[in-house]
A and B are shown apart, each in its own frame.
Chain A
Amino acid sequence: MCFKNLPIEFDSQGKAQLKEGVSNPYTYQVKSLHAEEDQLRTLLAKNGHIKSVDFDPVTRVAGALAFHTVADLKEGKILSANSMATLFRGYEVILKGRDPRDAIFISSRACGVCGGVHATVAAHAMEMAFDIKPPPLGIVVRNMMLALEYLYDHPLHLFLLAGPDYSQAIVEQSNPEIMEKAWRTPAPGANIHGYANMGKLMEDMNPLTGSLYLEALHMTRVAREAYVLLGAKYPHPETIVPGGVSVTITLQTFNEVYARLIKFFDYSKKAAAIWDDLTNFFYDANSRYQEVGSRPMNIIDTGVWDDPYAYDASYKNCNEWGERRWATPGVIIQGDLVTTRLQDINIGVEEFVDHSFYEQWNSHRFKTDPAGNPLSPYHAWNKETIPKPQGQNWKERYTWDTAPRWDRMSVEAGAYARLLITAMAKKLPHNRFIESTGTSLKIQLPRATKPALELEWHVPKTWNAFERNRARAYAIGYTAMVCMDNWQHGMDMLKSGETAVSTKFEIPKKGTHIGAGFWGAGRGFLTHHLVADNGVISNYQINTPSTINASPRDPFGTPGPYEQAVMNTPILEKYSGPENFKGIDVLRAIRSFDPCMPCTTHIHVDGSDRVVSREVNTCACGVD
């Protein structure tokens, strides 16, 4: 059915099984990177300059992710790209051998940008493993927390991180002709966002001084205030417990959250109008902007926001409760939705470490998942984390990141994945504000200080950096209305006296229990896989959206999503000589993914002695 590369087929009941007669169904041959690499080196060596590169600070590798690129400026092409994670902290190793109850608070610390999601997904994994079902209000509170987390995350990305790349300050340098045109181009969304022309709009996106920049910073704080009313603190919340939440709910809680949530109704209208105008303006100015950050529409998402009356934490029923989420789980391959079932998503994911600083493990403990579907030895429930630090070598191993693949294909994760899959799937359960049409999502935004508005986001024809950002802008409205819907559910529960927020639980001292959490981070797809033996964690595996997006080449030679997107990016920037080349198009491509690791690009300019290096920030409070 949905798998093309894995040796799995489905019987007439739709049950997965291994194809018959395949010996060693999961083995593979690692495609060598030597030839590719040697060719590049010859290219670089031929120009004779590479040894005399000025190794000024520009060559440094900063942050936890570095990006290494070879560019041919004459052709305006990127020849090669390598994405490398430069940090290992060992969370999975630390969790091994501990009490399962520690997983929530410890794994939350895996990410300080979206720690709240890790805490929740860890709770899900425990709930599945130990059969704990949270009460409806507990689920609704989790949903609201997650939505509020996104409402901080999306504006942060759109206006503080990615935004400056489209601001007057940057565009004036990289493409003066576009800025000049901007001043002459009226902005179609003027009646919503209030900017008469594109130039003014882009000016207000300038870092630290632009009013759109400052407004976004303010809105991130509004969302975080609402978040900590439920989560206690941010980024690492304290209120997620196995079996629900530990929040003392009163009307004050709901009222204070509401007072902040409604500020996002108008903001959603504005953000969507701004990014619509920006996207269309750039496409208009040069249609090749559609190629920036482009890659095949191969998308994966776990879905998020559980139906409080459907979620029962069981693996057995996860296909059903998964499809009842406010964001539908699913996989899109080449623009087609191939599944919306969590079990297919789960068994299709394998993690490869052939080009990473880890050793291959050899065990294959779980041949099937708890529902009897075949499991690969490279699946998270079977994977082991065996770190092996070593020098980076582009031909062999170059990153602390692994290469997760679904059905052995490179897929990408992101906030936009929620919109794409939910819009295509038409599985959205009945709700008050959002409708999935198969090709679009319709979002009803209520009147606040601005009139009510129906936003409609359409599945785009091409998949690139601009569409990622545009979708993320619409995701603000989508998320705000999911939060509103859940808020109303919560109020209804208070009305009917369903006020329990947690379920008591015990950790069994005997036997093997396995569980998984599937839940979206701000940047999409997130899973935790837990194996507990006799009440102790014997394996814990975390797979994040940035693990997927920043992944290196897989054993089949396919680059990860960042790598692919960068290699497809044309260089459209105007510069007087290689020494003034900034690499803005490459940065736009990477930032459109909302990388949640500090990320640096390195561009070797082919045919010159220049190495360009630029930060790709995940956060931008320091602008000096």
Chain B
Amino acid sequence: MTIETATKGDSITAPAGNISDESTGLTPHKEHTEQPGHQEGAQIAQFKGPLEKVYAFWLAGMSCDGCSIAVLGATAPPVEALLGGTIPGLPKVILAHPVLSVEAGKDFVAMYHKAWEGKLDAPYVIIYEGSLADETLAAATGGYWSCMGTSGIGDPYEDSVVTTAEWCKRLAPGAAASIAIGTCATWGGIPSAYGNPTGAMSMMDFLGKDYRSTLGLPVINIPGCSPVGDNFTETVATVLMFLQGMGPLPEFDELGRPAWLFKETVHRQCNRAGYYEEGTFASEYGQKECLVEIGCWGPVVQCNITSRGAINHMGGCMNTGAICIGCTMPGFPDKFAPFYSAAPGSDVSGAASRMVGSFIRPLRRITQRSQNRETRWDRNGEVPSGWGHPSEPSTSDKIAHYFYEKLQFSGSVKPGRTKPEAKYKGNYEVPGVVAGESDPSQKPTP
């Protein structure tokens, strides 16, 4: 593909995407027995080569519009850049959004119909926000739970409605990719919580395990309630980069999650993980320590918000002080309820880290006290701070430090051990260093 630059003829050419053979499709998880991409090779041929545009159909089922709002906050890339076609190398995304489109009416739904009939001039993807209702439950009493569009037959006054689930069924088979955004669409989410009357379910549950898009992919799942907007725009961008031959095959895990975003637990990247490791825990909301004892589920939750932030790298749950309630997980919400109470598993792991922490913490403080001093202060034996009186290292501190340094520089050179005359050939006298001796400040003073 070609990236246009300012001067004509001065273009950079990247290798064309290799899309039609073995590497077809994006990589589903390794453990997945069937490589769906292989079966659908024929259809994929149509995507060979750089795409100029891609259609995207956004379907909102039982949703709160929070996913749309989350995507509006994305910055890497921002949604207006995808839609405006202003990202060099990427095709323009033509979005049909039941909530967002400015130009609506005739042309708007005509596009959905064209896609359904396979008459679009470019491939399309569908994006589903919200869960899908079990409409058979509502139909039993002659109604619906969630709908978009009418059947197009009959009296406008009594026109029958087309459910959002029906639109999903119509468009999914012809889509290059079907993307579920947000926990409602990926795993059923809150509308499918215990006691719900609508039989709400996820896109994956609705389409079934044999579903494949024309690219050979099962449903791509980008969970989160609400999701991080960038997780969505980034997934779309990387898939497009792959299709354009600019990037590698994005990896998806066994549940169709972008693996580079959802492989790790949020605890591993948590900015409070150090407190956990040292066994110090918050007992009230607002405290700075690890939140596990007041309800955080982070250690078992796959989410990247602590490293990515919520919007433009700001915020994020534990970054701010909030417990993790597992909103990206298939078990959300019922398996994480009641909220604000500690997960039972945290008793065991918390007690363990308390024990280890009570041992590690004092040792670290010794080293920290030493590292908190300039070598000059060690040399002069005083800290010239007007702010306070940092405690002088105690004898036991010094002994500990002596052995600590031994270990630190075993197999290496301690700075200052080289004879100064060897270092400064011009006979320049280093302040505080007697020629012929190594730096006295580096001499351990046991």
User: In the complex, are the beta carbons of A246 and B321 less than 8 A apart?
Assistant: yes
Task: Say yes or no: is A436 at the interface (Cβ < 8 Å to chain B).
Answer: no
User: In the complex, are the beta carbons of B339 and A102 less than 8 A apart?
Assistant: yes
Task: Answer whether A63 and B285 are a contact pair too, CB < 8 Å, given A57-B113, A90-B198, A232-B316.
Answer: no
Interface string of A467-478 (1 = CB under 8 A from B): 000000000000
Closest CB pairs A-B (n = 7): A112-B66, A228-B315, A389-B143, A57-B109, A238-B322, A246-B285, A112-B64
User: In the complex, are the beta carbons of B70 and A234 less than 8 A apart?
Assistant: yes
- Nearest-neighbour CB distance to chain B for A201, whole angstroms, equals 19
Sample of 29 A–B contacts (CB below 8 Å): A50-B155, A57-B110, A58-B105, A59-B152, A60-B162, A86-B144, A98-B195, A101-B338, A101-B339, A102-B339, A220-B73, A234-B310, A234-B315, A235-B64, A246-B286, A246-B322, A247-B286, A501-B286, A502-B286, A596-B65, A598-B98, A612-B105, A618-B65, A618-B99, A621-B71, A621-B79, A621-B80, A622-B79, A623-B83
Q: Which residues from chain B contact A133 at a C-beta distance below 8 Å?
A: none
Pick the interface stretch among A103-111, A326-334, A483-491, A512-520: A103-111
Task: Say yes or no: is B402 at the interface (Cβ < 8 Å to chain A).
Answer: no
| Interface residues in chain A, defined as those with a beta carbon under 8 Å from any beta carbon in chain B | 41, 50-51, 53, 55-64, 86-91, 93-94, 96-99, 101-102, 104-106, 109-113, 115, 138, 164, 207-208, 214, 217, 220-221, 224-239, 241-249, 256, 357, 387-394, 499-502, 504, 596, 598, 600, 602, 604, 611-615, 617-624
Q: Which residues from chain A contact B153 at a C-beta distance below 8 Å?
A: 55
User: In the complex, are the beta carbons of B337 and A504 less than 8 A apart?
Assistant: no
Interface string of B280-317 (1 = CB under 8 A from A): 00001111100100100000000001000111101111
- Nearest-neighbour CB distance to chain A for B111, whole angstroms, equals 9
User: In the complex, are the beta carbons of A232 and B311 less than 8 A apart?
Assistant: no
Q: Which residues from chain B contact A392 at a C-beta distance below 8 Å?
A: 158, 161
A623 to B102, CA, bound (A): 5
A101 to B159, CA, bound (A): 42
A98 to B309, CA, bound (A): 31
User: In the complex, are the beta carbons of A229 and B314 less than 8 A apart?
Assistant: yes
Interface string of B95-109 (1 = CB under 8 A from A): 111111111111011
Interface string of B64-95 (1 = CB under 8 A from A): 11111111110100011001100000000011
Q: Using a CB-CB cutoff of 8 Å, which residues 418-443 of chain B contact chain A?
A: none
A613 to B341, CA, bound (A): 49
User: In the complex, are the beta carbons of A620 and B195 less than 8 A apart?
Assistant: no
Q: Which residues from chain B contact A619 at a C-beta distance below 8 Å?
A: 65, 68-69, 72, 99-100
User: In the complex, are the beta carbons of A109 and B325 less than 8 A apart?
Assistant: no
Q: Which residues from chain A contact B62 at a C-beta distance below 8 Å?
A: 87, 89
User: In the complex, are the beta carbons of B195 and A238 less than 8 A apart?
Assistant: no
Task: Say yes or no: is B330 at the interface (Cβ < 8 Å to chain A).
Answer: no
Task: Answer whether A615 and B316 are a contact pair too, CB < 8 Å, given A90-B196, A391-B143.
Answer: no
Query: A235-B69, A247-B322 known; 11 other A-B pairs, CB under 8 Å?
Result: A55-B156, A60-B162, A99-B337, A109-B225, A224-B73, A236-B327, A256-B314, A389-B143, A499-B286, A598-B98, A621-B97
User: In the complex, are the beta carbons of A87 and B69 less than 8 A apart?
Assistant: no
Interchain CB contact (< 8 A) of A228 among B75, B84, B309, B333: B309
Task: Answer whether A232 and B315 are a contact pair too, CB < 8 Å, given A246-B321, A246-B322.
Answer: yes
Q: Which residues from chain A contact B312 at a C-beta distance below 8 Å?
A: 221, 225
User: In the complex, are the beta carbons of A614 and B316 less than 8 A apart?
Assistant: no
Pick the interface stretch among B3-11, B35-43, B186-194: B186-194
User: In the complex, are the beta carbons of B100 and A59 less than 8 A apart?
Assistant: no
Of A113, A232, A602, A617, most buried by chain B (CB within 10 Å of CB) is: A232
Q: Which residues from chain A contact B142 at a C-beta distance below 8 Å?
A: 389-391
Task: Answer whether A41 and B323 are a contact pair too, CB < 8 Å, given A105-B339, A390-B143.
Answer: no
Interchain CB contact (< 8 A) of B146 among A86, A105, A604, A617: A86
A238 to B295, CA, bound (A): 12
Interface string of B178-207 (1 = CB under 8 A from A): 000000000001110111111010000000
User: In the complex, are the beta carbons of B197 and A115 less than 8 A apart?
Assistant: no
A390 to B84, CA, bound (A): 41
- Nearest-neighbour CB distance to chain B for A161, whole angstroms, equals 10
User: In the complex, are the beta carbons of A59 and B156 less than 8 A apart?
Assistant: yes
User: In the complex, are the beta carbons of A106 and B156 less than 8 A apart?
Assistant: no
User: In the complex, are the beta carbons of A598 and B60 less than 8 A apart?
Assistant: yes
Task: Say yes or no: is B252 at the interface (Cβ < 8 Å to chain A).
Answer: no
- Nearest-neighbour CB distance to chain A for B90, whole angstroms, equals 15
Q: Which residues from chain B contact A55 at a C-beta distance below 8 Å?
A: 150, 152-154, 156, 159
User: In the complex, are the beta carbons of B145 and A617 less than 8 A apart?
Assistant: no
User: In the complex, are the beta carbons of A239 and B150 less than 8 A apart?
Assistant: no
Q: Which residues from chain A contact B156 at a C-beta distance below 8 Å?
A: 50, 53, 55, 59, 602, 604, 611
Interchain CB contact (< 8 A) of B191 among A58, A90, A208, A233: A90
